Structure 1
Amino acid sequence: MVELPHEMKAVLLTEVGVDFKLIDACIPVPKLSDQEVLVKIEYVGLTGLDAKFVQQGTPCWQYPRVFGLDAVGVVVAGPKGGHPEVGARVMWHNDIASEGVLSEYVKVPNFALTVLPADINPALAASLPTPGMTALIALYKLQLEEGDTIFIESGNTCVGQLAVQMAYQQGLTVITSSPKQCTTALKKLGAELVLDENETDIGQKIQKHFGYDTVHGVIDMSGKYTNKLLEFLQFCGRISCVSGLATLDETLLFKKAPNIGIVSLPGAWLAKSICAQQRMSFLGNVLTDYLQQEQLCLSEKEVIAFDAVSIYDALIARINGNSHFYQVVKVA
């Protein structure tokens, strides 16, 4: 039995907003309850969801609080004979209502964990839960078939890059938007047509290339242009909204009759649905399979030091749009 310390280093979020604040702290190592394991954190992924919540917060949070949602680490304590076993390396997307993962140790419900095979790079795995699960859920909600056409907004983002690759591997025809400098890279990932995100007539360009009424599904990343995206969706097509639901044009809704799906990873925890939480473990297994089969190409990974200043700077770069890299904090 490994002797555990009584205190640990952590990074706490003390204020949210444009001027959010992170501090370094020393706090007690958490105590376990039934169906929980204690994980020694190795890497924490920073994502667009982290950038959103440091600015907006959520009603279930009290401050100061340990920050962070995605992690990889090694199980160091848990119920005797439980799963996963002590010594297993695990990956997960954390409960938004509980303390975060930017600390040396975290307690986690064992049913939400994905056990990582020994040949998976833990730093790479830590960057995947939020963007990878978001991309998978968005695609599942569209229920598209091989040969269908999908439009993925902002294919240059971490979620977008993964969605492009997954959609291509499902046999879908992939159209995406991005800054011009990302065109070549996205075509290598599987996009057949990459449109400049600043184009005002994206729908016309799609029609010119593929014909009228040919987009069967859309992944709406930002929520800023939902009505425009609906305009070139076929009648009764499907749209997955990653950033919530915008105010929709009622005339357009009558014209298109879209099937609208909302993607919410935190919702699995906030709804207290054990079934939904267990599904996150299943999604983690799907992502692990992608990695083992070398079917995902991830853009450059940025490794960040485990201190409040470095993490703050990394989040600011993401908020300002200066980083679409996969960012991971090296904790141990």
Structure 2
Amino acid sequence: MSNTELSDRYDIPQTMRAIVLPQPDEQICLHDVEVDVPDCVNNELLVKVEYVGLNPADAHFAKTGFCNWQYPHILGLDAVGVVVKANKGVFPNVGERVMWHANIGEQGVLSEYTKVPNFAVSVVPNELSPAQAATLPCAGMAALISLDKIAIAEGDTVLIEGGSGAVGQFAIQYAKQRGADVFATASKRNHKLVKKLGADTVFDYNDKKLCDKIRRELGPQGFDAVIDTMGGASTLRNIELMRFCGRIACLNPLPHFDQNLMYRRAPNISVVSIGGAWLANSLCAQQRLSFMGNLLLEGALSGDIKTPAITAVDFTAESVSAALNNQIAGGFTGKHIVQISS
């Protein structure tokens, strides 16, 4: 069957619904709009979006803006949908369900249709729920990159900050698969969840004696590695808790480092940036997103990796704005998933 015949299965409109950010603002005031369906060229796929996963990064940039954005800007980075148009010979084929983490420098995925380069997507198995697949890209990829950056190996001791967050949940499971001894922080109400995911020891991040309790549990040697999902003062504290020449992967902007701390710990500091794969215009890095997507899908399908609990969000500007504000306020566990179409 030719590509043209496959495309004829889908009635593609000229315009579509989308949720846009008119300008960055602290309240995250989004608008429902009607815009043109994007045109695709070369190896781009036109995808009918089914589900969008929301991330704290979406909320952060909705408040502060992003240097590459033009406004109004369609938000959203994580998507699952069905390919409805592709040039002849381009894989995946029309009719395939795909998952991806979108280019942060271009328009996002909170729309009925969007376009994406074919080499950056992963094909979603029919046996896996598309809503479940939408929980995977940003958080799962951040966890995998973090573990690679700190070179986790069997027997390592690793601290995972924010163990009940989506990144933390994936990181705990993959760190245990690699044979690490996993320590995590979480609010007391989430300790049971974090231990169920595989954490050996969990600490309350609100505990004023957190550092003392970690040292009593761990001993004087310090952590081999840390995944720092918080940033700021937490980064400095985590470096203090590491062994000399320990490794830390940072998912948020770095603080100002005290030189005395740097001399005493000589940390190996890595920065985690999924969006950098797009901003650096690195084809290899963009293809790696697809490879990581495949790994995440395999883990979710086999049951080796448990995905975060889903909180459904309506495809309206008001509902998405409320969900993003909820995420940035802290304390949310799981993933907000917007159903765009079924």
TM-score range, shorter chain: over 0.9
Letter paired with 2:290? S
CA deviations 1:29-72 (Å, max 9, x no partner) are 11111110100000000011111111111110111011111000
Tell whether 2:253 aligns with 1:244.
Answer: yes
SS of structure 2 residue aligned to 1:319 = helix
Q: Give 1:314's aligned residue.
A: 323
In the alignment, is the contact (CA less than 8 A) between 2:28 and 2:325 conserved in 1? no
- 8 Å CA contact 1:217–1:238 kept in 2: the answer is yes
For the 8 Å contact 1:123–1:328, the answer to whether it is kept is yes
What's the counterpart of residue 4 of structure 2? none
Change (3 A) 1:113 1:299: closer
Equivalent residue letter for 1:20: I
Unaligned runs of 5+ in 2: 1-7
- Normalising to structure 1: TM-score of the pair? 0.97
Unaligned stretches of 5+ residues in structure 1: none
- 2:165–2:332 CA contact under 8 A, matched in 1: no
Deviations 1:7-28 (A, max 9, x none): 1111111121212221111111
What letter matches 1:26 in structure 2? E
- Report if aligned partners of 2:27, 2:325 keep a CA contact under 8 Å in 1: no
Q: 1:185 aligns to what?
A: 193
CA RMSD of aligned residues (A): 1.2
Moved >6 Å (runs of 4+): none
Deviation at 1:207, TM superposition (A): 2.5
2:156 & 2:309 partners in 1: Cα distance? 30
For 2:214 and 2:204, how far apart are their aligned partners in 1? 12
1:281 and 2:283 aligned: no
Match of 1:218 among 196, 205, 226: 226
Query: Quick one: which of 20, 25, 31 aligns to 1:23?
Result: 31
Q: Which residue, 122, 127, 131 being the options, matches 1:119?
A: 127
Alignment equivalent of 1:47, drawn from 33, 50, 55: 55
- Distance in 2, matches of 1:12 and 1:292, equals 33
Which residue identity is paired with 2:258?
A: D
How many residue pairs were aligned? 332
Q: How far apart, CA to CA, are the structure 1 residues paired with 2:25 and 2:178? A: 39
TM-superposed CA distance for 1:274, in Å, is 0.9
Corresponding letter in the other structure for 2:270: G
Q: 2:72 aligns with which of 61, 64, 68?
A: 64
Name the counterpart of 2:88.
80
SS in 2 for 1:15: coil
The alignment-based identity, stated in percent, is 44
Q: Could you say which residue in structure 2 is the equivalent of 1:291? A: 300
CA contact (8 A) 2:21 2:74 kept: yes
TM-score normalised to structure 2 length: 0.94
Contact persistence 1:226–1:248 (CA under 8 A): no
Q: 1:257 aligns to what?
A: 266
- In the alignment, the residues of structure 2 paired with residue 18 and residue 27 of structure 1 have an alpha-carbon distance, to the nearest angstrom, of 25
For 2:291, what is the secondary structure of its paired residue?
A: helix
Question: Which SS does the other structure have where 2:22 is aligned?
Answer: strand
